[in-house]
Amino acid sequence: MTDTVRYMALLEPQPEGGYTVTFPDLPEAITEGDDIEQALFNAAEVLSLVLEQRLADGAPIPSPTQTEGGHWVEPSASVQAAVLLARARAGHTISELARAMGTSWPAAQRLMKPGNPTIKQLERAAAALGKRLVLSLE
């Protein structure tokens, strides 16, 4: 079973033009755009920033819920990787992950931060957790 990181964004037309974008699952994620394309582009950016901050704070990452009339939005690839690794690591400590990977605790901890891990490191971490890293272009 593959896992994805995406959240439903709601676009609300504004009387003065443009759209306000909100995420029901992440109330702090709010942005806007002059048209739908720009609003969705900005939505991906704010989603990435909010998820990255939640990871840094150790705050929960909610499961996405589908909302009628919404648009699925994905965060950046590095944020997706960090969220997926955090989900896969649930129930395992950083120390356990480090031992399974044959690496140090600081090296395993860095995997939890978006932008830090290489593909090779992510593959090793996934394998240590009994998973397989799969990438796709959509």
Domain residue extents for the chain: 7-73, 77-128
Burial of 16 (0-12, 13-18, 19+ CB in 10 A): exposed
Determine the pLDDT at residue 70: 94
> What's the CA gap between 58 and 52, in Å, rounded?
10
CATH of domain 77-128: 1.10.260
pLDDT one-digit tens code per residue, 78-96:
888 888 888 888 888 889 8
d(CA 113, CA 78): 8
Span 107-130, pLDDT tens digits:
888 877 776 677 788 888 888 888
Q: Is-contact 33 39, C-beta < 8 A?
A: yes
Whether the pTM exceeds 0.75: the reply is yes
Say if CB 30 and CB 22 are below 8 A apart. yes
Does domain 7-73 bear CATH number 3.40.50.300?
no
